[in-house]
Structures are given as C-alpha cells and as structure tokens.
Amino acid sequence: MCRRVLFGAIVEEDTYCRELKDGKPHGDGEVNGKGEREGVGVMVRASGDMYEGQWRAGKQEGVGTKHSATGNKYVGQWVSGKKQGQGTMRYAGGDRYEGEWVAGKREGRGTYHYASGNRYEGEWVADKMEGKGTYHYADGQVEVGCYKAGVGVGEGAKWSADRTTAARLSDGRGGEAISLEEAARIAERVGLPVP
C-alpha cells in the first residue's frame, strides 16, 4: 500500500537510492565494502521522511537534508546520524532556527525566528535558550538578558520600539522604568550590545 507524503517520493518500503528523478527513487545509493550506506545517497522512508546527503558506516554523516513527513526540513551538518554543527531547521508551523547543533539539539549560538515575527538571538543548551541572548519582538521592542532552561534569569533590560524608553528586567519580568544610560550599562554587564 502506497502513501502520499508531504515532501519526497511515494514508497511502500524504505528505499535507499542514488537520487530522485521525477519524484521517484532512481539508481543505487553508494555503499562501503560491508554493504553499509556510505558516500552519497537518498533514503526515502515509507513513513514519509526522506534524507538526502552524505553517509558513513550506515549513518547520516557530513552534509545533508532531511524532510520530515510532518513538513519540517533540516539542512546542515550531521555526525553519527544526528544533527551536529551548523544547520537550519524550518518547522512546518513557520518557525525557523539557524545555528549550532549538538547531538540533535539546538546548542551553542543560534537564532530562532518565530512565525509570529519575534526573534531570539543568543545561546542555547539542550534545545532551550540558555546563556546570553537578545529577544526582538515583532512590534519592535527588544530585550537583552540571560536565560536558564528557556526562562529569563537575573538582570536584563528592555527597550521600547522607538528606543526612547527602557525598563529593568528581573528574572524575565518587566519592572521599573530606567534611563537609556542605565539600560546600556545593564547590556554591558550582560555582555551584549545595546540594540
């Protein structure tokens, strides 16, 4: 029984091939002396997922693109079958992450663009905002601060869209109005530029 997938070819069973032509698997993917996927090839899964790119010892390794049946798409580096290094993930809901990956998770520096128009630029650990970061709101407001497990911690500052007013943040929550000079000093202490 064949299934229609959001992206990629239609297959009844997992198929490893050299390339897709007209949406269908074509040719043999490269293998090593042990018969493991190695070199360049395309794996089209019956689930609707598809990976096209480099392989080593049967695992995604090097540069490749994975299309998920859900509509997500990752383009970037792979190590031992996991996202590792630089890559971009486009989520079906319209969000996008560009940056570093470790063991399949967002980790290091990266930028997450939300479908709402908001954007976070900063540090990540285990798929969560962690460390220093700048959060840009779709309405133009910007805040700088530190995060732990995706939540604002410590002191930060938030600027109005027109950058004429600022407020102190404490553990991610808004507080008292402060001068632009004090907001700049907070940004300096956090280690980030004034937006």
Average pLDDT of the chain? 93
d(CA 18, CA 181) in angstroms, rounded, equals 60
d(CA 100, CA 38) in angstroms, rounded, equals 24
Structure tokens at 134: 């700048």
Residue with more model confidence, 8 or 177? 177
In a domain, 159, yes or no: yes
In a domain, 43, yes or no: no
2 pLDDT band (50/70/90 cuts)? Answer: very low
Give yes or no for a contact between 161 and 141, defined as CB atoms under 8 angstroms apart. Answer: yes
Residue type, 171: D
Give yes or no for a contact between 18 and 41, defined as CB atoms under 8 angstroms apart. Answer: yes
Q: Per residue in 40-68, pLDDT tens?
A: 999 999 888 999 999 999 999 999 999 99
Provide the CATH number for the domain around residue 189: 2.20.110.10
In a domain, 63, yes or no: no
In a domain, 84, yes or no: no
12 pLDDT band (50/70/90 cuts)? Answer: confident
Structural domains of the chain, count = 1
Region class of 184: left (phi > 0), else alpha (psi between -120 and 50), else beta? alpha
Residue with more model confidence, 191 or 46? 191
Q: Per residue in 62-111, pLDDT tens?
A: 999 999 999 999 999 999 999 999 999 999 999 999 999 999 999 999 99
By residue range, what is the domain housing residue 162? 108-195
